[in-house]
Structure 1
Amino acid sequence: MSRRLSGALAALAWVTLACVTTGGAQAAEVRLRVMQTSDIHMNLLNYDYYQDRESQEFGLAKTITLIHQARAEVPNSLLFDNGDLLQGNPLGDLVARVHPLKSTDVHPAYKVLNLLGVDAANIGNHEFNYGLPFLRQALAGANFPTLNANVMEADGRRHAFTPSLLLERPFTDEQGRTHKLKIGVLGLTPPQILEWDRQNLAGRVQVRDMVDVARELVPALRRQGADLVVIIAHTGIEKTELPRLSENMAAQLARVPGVDVLLLGHAHTEFPGPGFAGYPGADLDKGRLFGVPAVMPGRWGDHLGLVDLRLSNQDGHWRVIDSRASLRPIFDRSTRRPLVAADPMPAAVIAAEHQATLDHVRSQVAHTDTPIHSYFAQTVDSLAVRLVAQAQLRYAQRAVQGTALEALPMLSAAAPFKSGGRQGWTQYTDIPAGPIAIKHVADLYVYPNTIKVVKLTGAQVRDWLEMSAGQFRRIDPAGPAQQALLDTGYPGFNFDMMWGAGDGLRYELDLTQPARFDKEGRPANDSHRVVNLTWRGKPLADQAEFLVVTNNYRAYGGGHFPALGADKVVVDAPDETREALARDLASQPSADRGGLAPSWRIRPVTGVQMQFLSGAGATARLTPGTPVRLVKDNGDGSALFELTE
């Protein structure tokens, strides 16, 4: 090809591109805004039922204000919800368990979302917490499509829910002309629902790998005429390549050919955001994952996710020629100031359910002589977590009476569910001395988990505790004088502590050692952080047999703990841990008497001050007996503390 011909072709290509990008006669251009909410967890109002007061930091009522603002800025928009909508606070429990929905009732979440003009919604993992019959009844009240493509009926051949759809919508181009575009949408949820909600789902559904399903359905949507394909995936972003059927698969979904927009959730984190700096394929400036615009809007309505697209019609086909994903917060964390007011609509349409929830959570069940809080529950033995373990232990002891299991020693495992960090610096259990109401029980145990008992060897118990100890950073005895204690990427709800009846179990954590397991439960080092592990004053034998009381999430493999799974469950109790906790508290003269003794501590490291962040409210809960010292109030709702022994 001659140099002159090559130059002419290049000039022609430039002119063609100019026409496309400037909306010339040869191509139409449409600007489309895709908006997303996710992980609302029944926080329809900006109200904290645990503290019984309004909140400025979360609530769909505030996100709705952002939705209205974002819609008003553009001629074309779509709104999607990414699940974990129906469970998460006492309002969700009320309509599922306390005063169950009648057949003619519309779930309060859908009363609100129906008025928002939601185009479609995904089904998250927590939607399954109350069982399939309740879920199907609730979904029937939605006036918009609810999707899931990887949950199958028990035969594995039929989809349990609507897997995908084509939305045909009129959009206005830059010249004011109307075009009808077909938007393909499909929904995905983590396969781990079969572990986390085994009692609700075993034998009723099967779950396929999210990426496998996307590879099948994205081309199918294209063949059906989709101009744009949106995946609503209730999944987080993985940093390394993970095997099939993993929980967080966003990076692999982004590389499925034909995906135009990826809406994420589940992990309660914010993308684009600094927490993903250095992640493979992450473009934080444009909000892209391996070139695909992607957004994850935190949790509880604290952010609205936006994906702004420029679409061009080239040769009769619409293509994305530019994109930017971004987040809009409802609250400024640095100045501690709200950025928007709550929209009045949700409070008006669910007023009756809200009042019924308040009436329920304010009823008293017990009394405590001392405050109960979780501010230091990740670093020292905590009464807040110990009370849960105590209730589980007493329940399970009654359950095995008169059986062969009664002769085995029993332990109880529990974790702090409210531990600040990515949840926000106000998100701790904080119950003042005095009456204990239902709201406080829900504050101590926020999930509708059920009690399970597993049978393990002493070696497996040790590995369980080693896995939990992965929440700590390694402390270098020869390193700086001040060292951070907590790995902020490790979820607090996976930090299990264990107790035995009386003073039966004792152990220390030596954090100068590297973690024995990685976050997927795979051996990472030939090391032991769990030291001086004793049972009734003697070293705990690897060959000994134990019963361990826990919840359904952990028993069936949640958190990737070594050895745990359905084959280890020996007591499959139907009762919720919260119910057992409420009964146990009511049976005691005071919540802080007659319970389990502290069982563990972090071993001091000579010359090193081990420091950690907690909510600033922790300062008021420091007592002479707490081995913690305040270092600094950071002024942003958090404070820096360090261990004193």
Structure 2
Amino acid sequence: MIRLKKCSLIWLTLLLLLIATAVNAAEKNFVEIDIYSVNDFHGHLRAEAADPGIAVLSGVINELMKQNPVGSLLLGGGDMFSGTIDANEYQGLPVVTAMNKMGFSANTAGNHIFDYPLDVIKRQAAAANFPILGANIVEAAGDRVAEPFKPYIMLQRNGLTIGILGLTTVETKEKASQFNLQKVKILPPEQIAQVYVDELRRQGAQIIVLLTHIGSRQGEKHGITGEIVPILQKIHGVDAVVTGHSHLCVSGTYEDIPVIQAGCYGEAVGRINLLYSMAAQKVVSANSRVYKLSELPRVQDNAMERFLEPIFKNIDSKYNEILAVNSQVLTNDRNGESRVGDFFMDVLKNGFKADVALYNGGAIRDTLPSGRVTVRDLLKIFPFDSTIYTAEVKGSDLRQVLEHGIGNPDISRLRFSGLQISADIRREEGQRISSVTLSDGSTLADEKYYKVISNDFMFSGGDGFYSLQNARHLRDCGKDKTFFAFALRSLKMVDYPAHDERLQIKKQGV
């Protein structure tokens, strides 16, 4: 009872604050618009561990949008449809349906939408009650926006016409399946954005929102930074910016323009509040806030939970086979040590008798739990449809991979086996790696070729690992998940140490 009263008090406080703003707006002939956003959801439909799940996310958003029902809209910042077995098993369609139920007005295309082939994306778009935006995603053979993407949408809220322009990161060229990108090209956003902003104004847009899947960061000294900044420097006439891709909570301004990003996996909701003067015919004030769901009363959308229940039951029954028993949790820090990554790289190297195993850190998405390890646990770690290859890689190209993949702030840390590396990650790329020793005790030789096993994403130059495109004698070894499941069944018991010294990073002052 006490908890219920406390929860009610929190929601009542939020309600009174927002009502006060609305009353003030009405008195001054202002119109209030609330832009709510979710980005980088990555199919985390289910509530588990730190993920609230979409039933709670929907419940919280419903409560927030009640405060300004005629002036609120809900937007998706991209990378929504893939990343978990619950989503991937059905090619993202449960996420699309859930977003329909939540009333999303638009979603921008993220790089991970190309985890799916274009024909699947078209089916997703056909099932969606909202457009998938991507003004800078054009046909490979021309400059028309590629189907099924739309450059923008115009909608009405609280008597105002709002233009939503969708843009995606140019990093899509490096951070997506090269096969699925064959029919499209990604233009620099700043190359086309102003043209569309001007077009939206001509069509009567009173407020313009950039809905982007482009990275942003926030620092105490320098405010908004990241990939979005040089783009905003070349665009004028924008009233609000929704960002994504960097999986951070960001709430601030860039030259008085509110910029928001709401973390990832549904952990938070972004809100930009705009006050529009009917007399001045422009936005006269703006503020932003990120609501972390862990800090709000838990409100569940029971209808959403009922919709998801049969999906979860089907997944659990299909993927509940016990593969092995693990003695202790193997953790995964995408920008630090990943014992689960180290373990599977050792398994990969030894299984194919390679000199070196390599994986991009972003391909490894979860921890290996202690106790019984099921197929579903494995698919949480490796949610993407990756194929593994062996190839011969020249030592100099391998060295470039290590320089790019260790200490690079723009990508998750490289995972590897078969190497002992010393590095100073404070240095620039090309000067970070001080020594590389192979398992046999030899030093990495630039002119020698080594047997390397990795995934199709890396061998195609994904994440900027371009030197691997020089590899020779590539051999398809099948799906990574199939091999890893086989390996776990064979091992039966996993007893892997909590730490090793394969990567030694020079500390400050040493």
- TM-score category, normalised to shorter length: 0.7 to 0.9
Partner residue in 2 for 1:517:
428
Deviations for 1:488-518, whole angstroms, at most 9, x for unmatched residues?
Answer: x675x3232232xxxxxx42425xx454434
Which letter does structure 2 place at the counterpart of 1:117? G
Correspondence 1:325 to 2:325: no
Displacement, 1:453? 4.4
Displacement, 1:560? 3.2
Partner residue in 1 for 2:97:
111
Correspondence 1:385 to 2:289: no
Pick the aligned partner of 1:445 from 338, 360, 382: 382
* Inter-CA distance 570–311: structure 2 relative to 1 (3 Å threshold): farther
Q: Secondary structure of the residue that 1:158 maps to in structure 2?
A: coil
Separation in structure 1 between the aligned mates of residue 166 and residue 272 of structure 2, nearest angstrom: 17
State whether residues 72 and 157 of structure 2, in contact with CA within 8 Å, keep that contact through their aligned partners in structure 1.
Answer: no
Partner residue in 1 for 2:480:
577
Deviations for 1:315-353, whole angstroms, at most 9, x for unmatched residues?
Answer: 6xx311100011111104xxxxx6323222221112221
Which letter does structure 2 place at the counterpart of 1:331? S
Pick the aligned partner of 2:434 from 522, 529, 537: 529
Pick the aligned partner of 2:303 from 345, 369, 378: 345
Would you tell me which structure has more helix in proportion to its own residues? 2
Correspondence 1:363 to 2:302: no
Which letter does structure 2 place at the counterpart of 1:554? M
Deviations for 1:351-408, whole angstroms, at most 9, x for unmatched residues?
Answer: 22111112123222x22463351268977783x32442245446766xxxxxxxxxxx
Pick the aligned partner of 1:72 from 40, 43, 66: 66
State whether residues 145 and 151 of structure 2, in contact with CA within 8 Å, keep that contact through their aligned partners in structure 1.
Answer: no
Correspondence 1:553 to 2:509: no
Partner residue in 1 for 2:504:
602
State whether residues 328 and 495 of structure 2, in contact with CA within 8 Å, keep that contact through their aligned partners in structure 1.
Answer: no
Deviations for 1:524-553, whole angstroms, at most 9, x for unmatched residues?
Answer: x4x64335x245232222210123222233
Pick the aligned partner of 1:144 from 121, 130, 147: 130
Partner residue in 1 for 2:107:
121
Separation in structure 2 between the aligned mates of residue 302 and residue 343 of structure 1, nearest angstrom: 16
Partner residue in 1 for 2:45:
44
Displacement, 1:305? 0.5
* Inter-CA distance 305–457: structure 2 relative to 1 (3 Å threshold): same
Superposition pairs of residues 39-438 of structure 1, within 5 angstroms: 39-46=40-47, 48=48, 55=49, 57-74=51-68, 75-96=70-91, 107-160=93-146, 161-171=148-158, 179=159, 181-237=160-216, 249-255=227-233, 256-272=235-251, 287-314=252-279, 318-332=281-295, 339-364=297-322, 366-368=323-325, 370-374=327-331, 382=339, 384-393=340-349, 410-414=355-359, 429-433=367-371, 435-438=372-375
Separation in structure 1 between the aligned mates of residue 505 and residue 45 of structure 2, nearest angstrom: 43
Deviations for 1:575-612, whole angstroms, at most 9, x for unmatched residues?
Answer: 4322221133234454559x9x978252798998xxxx
Displacement, 1:186? 1.7
Separation in structure 2 between the aligned mates of residue 455 and residue 40 of structure 1, nearest angstrom: 37
Higher radius of gyration, 1 or 2: 1
* Inter-CA distance 119–546: structure 2 relative to 1 (3 Å threshold): same
Which letter does structure 2 place at the counterpart of 1:290? E
Deviations for 1:214-259, whole angstroms, at most 9, x for unmatched residues?
Answer: 122111211222111111100112689xxxxxx9631133331111
* Inter-CA distance 377–214: structure 2 relative to 1 (3 Å threshold): closer
Deviations for 1:43-94, whole angstroms, at most 9, x for unmatched residues?
Answer: 2232x3xxxxxx4643222222221222122241111111211111110122
The sequence identity of aligned pairs, in percent, is 20
State whether residues 381 and 601 of structure 1, in contact with CA within 8 Å, keep that contact through their aligned partners in structure 2.
Answer: no
Q: Which runs of 5+ in 1 are unaligned?
A: 1-20, 49-54, 102-106, 172-178, 241-246, 273-286, 333-337, 398-408, 420-426, 472-488, 500-505, 609-645
Separation in structure 2 between the aligned mates of residue 136 and residue 93 of structure 1, nearest angstrom: 16
* Inter-CA distance 229–590: structure 2 relative to 1 (3 Å threshold): same
State whether residues 450 and 575 of structure 1, in contact with CA within 8 Å, keep that contact through their aligned partners in structure 2.
Answer: yes
Partner residue in 2 for 1:404:
none
Correspondence 1:461 to 2:398: yes
* Inter-CA distance 360–550: structure 2 relative to 1 (3 Å threshold): same
Displacement, 1:264? 0.7
Separation in structure 2 between the aligned mates of residue 112 and residue 605 of structure 1, nearest angstrom: 46
Displacement, 1:555? 2.9
Displacement, 1:114? 1.3
Displacement, 1:455? 4.0
Separation in structure 2 between the aligned mates of residue 167 and residue 301 of structure 1, nearest angstrom: 26
Separation in structure 1 between the aligned mates of residue 95 and residue 327 of structure 2, nearest angstrom: 36
Partner residue in 1 for 2:3:
none
